[in-house]
Amino acid sequence: MTWSYDSIADVYATDMGQSMPFDDVDWYRSLCLREGGRALELGCGTGRILIELLRAGVDAIGADRSLPMLARLRGDAKKYTLSSNVLQMDIAEPALCAKFRVVLLPYSLITYLRDPAIAEQCVRSLAGLLEPGGCLVLDAFVPQPVASFADFRRDYRREHEGGFLERHKRITANADGTNRIERRYTVRDVDDVIVSEFFTDETIRPYRAVDLAGFGAAASLVVESFHWDYGSRGSAEGARFATVVLRRA
């Protein structure tokens, strides 16, 4: 079964990768090196984080729902002569029996589980993958007021593989607290001729830092620390991302 991210595998690094305004990669790499042991990254996509973990010597594996994203990851990992250990898996139904020192859900991945009950069950399942003393790390956009707009508005135009990538977006704030995000992509060559066009359509649920902590508590994990914008802020005020480190006793 295909889903939205299948269509953006070849532009993900230019699209979502360049849209991250903070050095989350270094934050996750430092955490994994400090923890030691084996790491699992869920929603690893095309390897923006996973490849850097492997390059740093972290014993890491990745999982993602999208086969095209994983195929791109394998190809990019070969550029660094890295062997990538990845598998296809939906985080709503984690199917692993190994144990890990660290389990990561980066870049607001948890918000794609828009039913809080499913999100809580997911965290409970992932907690079972932790070795004693291991940690589960959740991060999410800090919820902000969202206003719907009916027209598609341009997010950016960026250089991409000898040409350009453009993205337009439309947001609908749903009555149940979720947000529908529709994105239209246009790939253009160096002469500005359209090469391809495609779109994504996703619905997410914003979660507060206290919600993330609550998921951990329901899974008998202890909140060890909160981090704001991957350590670049000392408090929640003005932060765009919240990260919580949950520890198995």
Percent pLDDT > 90 in the chain is: 92
Long-range contacts from 209-215, C-beta under 8 angstroms, 24+ separation? 209/140, 209/142, 209/236, 209/242, 209/244, 211/116, 212/110, 212/138, 212/139, 212/140, 212/242, 212/244, 213/244, 213/246, 214/120, 215/110, 215/119, 215/120, 215/123, 215/138
Q: Is the pLDDT of residue 2 over 90?
A: no
Mean pLDDT, range 25-34, rounded to an integer? 98
What are the residues whose beta carbons fall under 8 Å from the beta carbon of 23, sequence distance 6 or more? 230, 232
DSSP letter for 126, please.
Answer: H
Percent pLDDT > 70 in the chain is: 99
Q: pTM higher than 0.85, yes or no? A: yes
State how far the alpha carbon of 181 is from the alpha carbons of 145, 159, 178, in Å. Answer: 14, 23, 10
Q: Is the pLDDT of residue 1 over 80?
A: no
Which two tokens mark 145?
Answer: 């007021």
Instruction: List the one residue out of 14, 82, 92 whose CA is nearest residue 50.
Output: 82
Strand order from edge to edge, sheet including 153-160:
153-160, 163-173, 179-188, 194-204
Do the beta carbons of residue 71 and residue 83 sit within 8 Å?
no
**Per-residue pLDDT at 20:** 96
Residue 165 phi, psi (nearest 5): -125, 130
Mean pLDDT, the chain, integer: 95
Torsion on CA atoms 236, 121, 203, 97, rounded to nearest 10: 100
Do the beta carbons of residue 170 and residue 150 sit within 8 Å?
yes
Which two tokens mark 231?
Answer: 């350590």
Mean pLDDT, range 140-144, rounded to an integer? 96
Do the beta carbons of residue 158 and residue 188 sit within 8 Å?
no
Q: In the structure, what pLDDT confidence band is assigned to residue 97 with cuts at 50, 70 and 90? A: confident
Residue 75 phi, psi (nearest 5): -65, -45
Mean pLDDT, range 203-231, rounded to an integer? 98
Burial of 79 (0-12, 13-18, 19+ CB in 10 A): exposed
